[in-house]
Amino acid sequence: MKSTLLKTFVVEDDPEQLATLKQIISNHIMINAFDMALTLATSQAQALLDYLDAHPDVEGLYFLDIEYTGQALNGLELATKIRERDVNAKIVFVSTHSEMAFLTFERRIEPLDFVVKDLGQDTVKAKVEKDIRVAYERYTKQGVANKAMFSYSKGGQLFNIPLDQVLFIETGAARNKLVLHLKDRIIQYNGKISDETVAHPELFRVHKSFLVNPSSLVRVDKQAQLGYFENGETVDIAVRKMHDLATLIKQSQLSVRVD
């Protein structure tokens, strides 16, 4: 634990809106007696970066606008730089609907939430307060259950996903392409299954084309040599691997039906 306090930051270039956000945040922290503080509320994006550079190890909740008129940084760049300095940053974008780039921000920043200003003051207030609660909850639980992550890279960019989302990896239709199956996502990326087997010891190679996350399996059919997942997807299991897989399931006490 680096510091016990969850620091909150606001960057908003409109003075009235900045004042309103400040008020909503301080009130909500005070009422709930959260171990939080409104550390910095500024209209200058650079001021926040300066603060983060001066205080490494900060873990924070950030409320950012998207366009700062006349400033060198915009919300996306600011958020990217915050991520570089604070890996666990909880970022909330507060802006008008037309400025929001939901898909882009979700892909690049993984923000905690989007608060659309034009929905009216009451909605904004309710959403900001909810985000404070969610961020605080995540922050306090973070230390207890450190979530295992799985990462893959594309074009020099690293993407992280919680390991419990991973079902399995299979070899793709073309050479050097792998297909990563998540619970609600399929990701094709460049790589070799042998390399991935070494890089991810938490996964188990059940077949020359399949690398499985054993804790995502729901059923193993020894007769048909198939492994089943919750959404109905299946993987082939090689005869030679069946015994090792059964042992692993027993050892790790996974709730997988083996028959």
Residues that bind other proteins (CB under 8 A): 14, 16-17, 19-20, 67, 69, 74, 76, 96-99, 101-104, 107-108, 117-118, 120-121, 154-157, 172-174, 176-177, 181-182, 184-190, 231-233
Q: Which is nearer to other proteins, 145 or 173 (CB)?
A: 173
State how far the Cα of 256 lies from the Cα of 246, in Å rounded to an integer. 9
Q: Which is nearer to other proteins, 5 or 76 (CB)?
A: 76
Least distance between other proteins and beta carbon 113 (Å): 13
Instruction: Read off φ and ψ for residue 78, nearest 5 degrees.
Output: -60, -45
Beta-carbon count within 10 A of 86 CB: 20
State how far the Cα of 197 lies from the Cα of 170, in Å rounded to an integer. 11
Of 213, 227, 218, 226, nearest to 256 by C-alpha is 218
Q: Which is nearer to other proteins, 96 or 151 (CB)?
A: 96
Least distance between other proteins and beta carbon 179 (Å): 8
Look-up of token digits 């922050």: 139
Q: Which is nearer to other proteins, 3 or 199 (CB)?
A: 199
Least distance between other proteins and beta carbon 35 (Å): 29
Q: Which is nearer to other proteins, 51 or 129 (CB)?
A: 129
State how far the Cα of 190 lies from the Cα of 173, in Å rounded to an integer. 12
Least distance between other proteins and beta carbon 61 (Å): 22
Least distance between other proteins and beta carbon 48 (Å): 19
Least distance between other proteins and beta carbon 8 (Å): 20
**CB within 8 Å of 258: residues ≥ 6 apart:** 219, 220, 222, 246, 249
- For residues 129 and 26, the answer to whether their CB atoms sit within 8 Å is no
Q: Which is nearer to other proteins, 2 or 119 (CB)?
A: 119
Q: What's the token pair of residue 209?
A: 């084309």
Q: In whole angstroms, how far apart are CA 43 and each of 73, 117, 184, 230?
A: 12, 17, 39, 48
